[in-house]
């Protein structure tokens, strides 16, 4: 009697439906969890900082990513990058934490080759891209530091000294922008007749110059055209809007 009762329950339509329901939902849940854990890139960035370069890049690469706003120098950020600087990314796909803007850019361009934003692997082209990224990172990016974070360059609180440091910084930034304008010339992009990771980084640095220093590109026509080209990209617009 008892046996018949359980047999009825087990083979009844009801239990079949319940089993089906849970199997389908659990499968969907685990697939979503698998994709989330395995393919998500986490970007740690800060508003008004160079980390927007990586944000633009992730969008242009159609990468699966999530952005976290962190405070520069915070304990939260130091757990990811002990230097307390942005950008930093965690790529759970390869189980790595990456820092340094140009290294991250190269990594992402390689991870998503379909978008062709890196070098083509030719030894001379590799050099050209590395050369431009080094110029942007080591020479041009750093020329903004005395302007943005003057306190790192003097212990003085004297307004005259601080203004003097800022003026020297502005002069250096301007020289750098003129250099970039000449380097670009009449070309649409800096290298290889196509958009690369270096263009994205240059775009961010030129935006700083234009916005913070109120420049209007009167003298630097090549950069003006370049900025127009990049500003019109939907991915660039989407990310820029998200910071407003």
Ligand X SMILES: N[C@@H](CCC(=O)N[C@@H](CS)C(=O)NCC(=O)O)C(=O)O
Q: Which of 60, 61, 80, 86 binds ligand X (CB under 6 A)?
A: 86
**Binding flag, residue 80, ligand X (CB under 6 A):** no
To ligand X, the closest distance from the beta carbon of 26 in angstroms equals 42
Q: Which is nearer to ligand X, 101 or 239 (CB)?
A: 101
Sign of the four-CA dihedral 178, 179, 180, 182? positive
**Binding flag, residue 212, ligand X (CB under 6 A):** no
Distance, in Å, from the CA atom of 195 to the CA atom of 204, rounded to the nearest integer, reads 14
Distance, in Å, from the CA atom of 238 to the CA atom of 171, rounded to the nearest integer, reads 32
- Tell me the window of 5-13, 78-86, 153-161, 168-176 that interacts with ligand X (CB under 6 A): 78-86
**Binding flag, residue 130, ligand X (CB under 6 A):** no
Q: Which of 41, 57, 101, 204 binds ligand X (CB under 6 A)?
A: 101
**Binding flag, residue 205, ligand X (CB under 6 A):** no
Asked whether the beta carbons of 143 and 173 are under 8 A apart, the reply is yes
**Binding flag, residue 105, ligand X (CB under 6 A):** no
3-state SS, residue 69:
strand
Q: Which of 40, 42, 68, 100 binds ligand X (CB under 6 A)?
A: 100
Under rule CB under 6 A, how many of the chain's residues touch ligand X?
A: 11
DSSP lists the bridge partners of residue 99 as 88
Strand ranges (DSSP E) for 1-129?
Answer: 41-45, 65-69, 88-91, 96-99
Q: Which is nearer to ligand X, 65 or 208 (CB)?
A: 208
Q: Which is nearer to ligand X, 86 or 165 (CB)?
A: 86
Strand ranges (DSSP E) for 9-164?
Answer: 41-45, 65-69, 88-91, 96-99
**Binding flag, residue 197, ligand X (CB under 6 A):** no
Q: Which is nearer to ligand X, 38 or 131 (CB)?
A: 131
Q: Please, how many CA atoms are within 13 Å of residue 237, restricted to the half-sphere of its CB?
A: 6
Tokens 């380097």 sit on residue: 183
Asked whether the beta carbons of 198 and 129 are under 8 A apart, the reply is yes
Q: Which is nearer to ligand X, 71 or 182 (CB)?
A: 71
To ligand X, the closest distance from the beta carbon of 84 in angstroms equals 6
| Farthest CA pair distance, the chain | 98
Binding site for ligand X (CB under 6 A): 49-50, 72-73, 84-87, 100-101, 137
């Amino acid at each position: 009697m008892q046996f018949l009762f359980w047999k009825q329950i087990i083979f009844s339509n009801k239990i079949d439906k319940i089993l089906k329901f849970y199997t389908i939902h659990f499968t969907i849940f685990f697939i979503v969890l698998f994709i989330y854990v395995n393919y998500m890139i986490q970007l740690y960035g800060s508003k008004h900082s160079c980390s927007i370069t990586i944000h633009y890049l992730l969008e242009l690469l159609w990468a699966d990513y999530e952005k976290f706003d962190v405070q520069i120098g915070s304990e939260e950020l130091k757990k990811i990058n002990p230097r307390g600087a942005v950008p930093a990314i965690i790529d759970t796909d390869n189980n790595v934490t990456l820092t340094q803007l140009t290294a991250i850019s190269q990594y992402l361009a390689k991870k998503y080759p379909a978008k062709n934003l890196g070098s083509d692997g030719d030894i001379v082209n590799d050099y050209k891209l590395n050369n431009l990224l080094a110029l942007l990172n080591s020479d041009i990016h750093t020329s903004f530091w005395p302007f943005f974070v003057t306190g790192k360059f003097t212990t003085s609180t004297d307004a005259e000294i601080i203004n003097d440091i800022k003026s020297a910084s502005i002069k250096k930034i301007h020289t750098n922008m003129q250099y970039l304008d000449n380097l670009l010339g009449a070309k649409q992009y800096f290298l290889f007749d196509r958009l690369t990771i270096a263009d994205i980084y240059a775009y961010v640095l030129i935006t700083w110059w234009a916005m913070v220093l109120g420049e209007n590109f009167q003298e630097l026509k090549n950069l003006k055209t370049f900025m127009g080209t990049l500003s019109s990209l939907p991915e660039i617009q989407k990310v820029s809007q998200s910071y407003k």
